[in-house]
Amino acid sequence: MKNKVTVVGGGNVGATAAQRLAEKELADVVLIDIIEGVPEGKALDLTEAAPIEKHDAGIVGTNDYKDSKNSDIVIVTAGIPRKPGMSRDDLISTNAGIMKSVTQEVAALSPDAVIIIVSNPLDAMCHVAYDVSNFPKNRVIGMAGVLDSARFRAFISMELNVSVENTHAFVLGGHGDTMVPLPRYSTVAGIPITELMPKDRIEALVDRTRKGGAEIVSLLKTGSAYYAPASAAVEMAEAILKDKKKILPCAALLEGEYGIDGLFIGVPVKLGAGGIEDIIQINLTDEEQAALNKSADAVKELVDTINKL
């Protein structure tokens, strides 16, 4: 039986995720959006590209959640995107309502699915999906660290003029300005970047990583990033569908790990067929732990805001 992945939200992130899933032949794809004709049109366009791209993945565009029934994974990108001058947090009220509605629909039709949240503000949206779905915590995951780490890896590659394939990086914490890039755990071919560049350059790359999304928003002027976010969500989906046991930084519900309880925070996790199969605890310096605690406090503020809506 073929895998089935539903992507909710037919905008730039969702459509790009559908494209990557199909072209990698990871699954048959269902693309859902509330706007009539948009998911159908994009699905047809992607289907017509299939003979050229040489894949046989089925792609269905629809406005009806019934088409998502029995999905293995649901990737949720639905919501309003950031515009210049907006923070991820400005989106909270509108997107919380959208997330609640989406989760109710997909959880009822795909009770065994893993849900990957991409919508912003991401960590807070994970709480909405978790509460509404009643899924176990290992099957509600936020896409944040994979994207933020990819940005850090790209900047390291550009700075040192080395292959991105040699770069590895970890970014923990919430998906926002309080995220915690970890230079000590970031390497090029196994060599810590702290041995390859001066402190001021590392700090500049860390700052650029934190502002990576805002930098793209300011350049595009009419939207936000979508190629890299889509790729990040698909990497997570691939690790789950192929049971790869891949260690990736993702937003997971912590219950005491890293001294944090009851919040979705970006940490290293093992992704396999069961979703999050393990939370990896790494040793942090006092300074790094303080930064992670600050990030957790920022997530808690958003969660408290949602709870008051």
CA distance 98 to 88: 15
55 flagged as catalytic: no
> How many helices (H) and strands (E) in the chain?
9, 14
The answer to pTM > 0.85 is yes
Q: How confident is the model at residue 86 (pLDDT cuts 50, 70, 90)?
A: low
Lowest-confidence range among 85-99, 101-115, 214-228? 85-99
* Calpha distance 290→107 (Å, rounded): 36
Catalytic residue among 55, 127, 168, 175: 175
Residue of 172, 159, 65, 176 lying closest to 120 (CA atoms)? 176
DSSP string, 8-49: E--SHHHHHHHHHHHHTT--EEEEE-SSTTHHHHHHHHHHHH
198 prior amide bond cis, ω within 30: no
In this prediction, residue 211 carries a pLDDT of 95
Work out the pLDDT band at 94, boundaries 50, 70, 90: confident
Residue whose pair of structure tokens reads 């859902």 in the numeric block: 32
Element (H, E) at 262: strand 261-272
User: What confidence tier does 89 reach under pLDDT thresholds 50, 70, 90?
Assistant: low
Per-domain boundaries in the chain: 4-142, 145-308
Query: Quick one: pLDDT at residue 80?
Result: 82
Fold of 4-142: Rossmann fold (3.40.50)
Q: Does domain 145-308 have CATH number 3.90.110.10?
A: yes
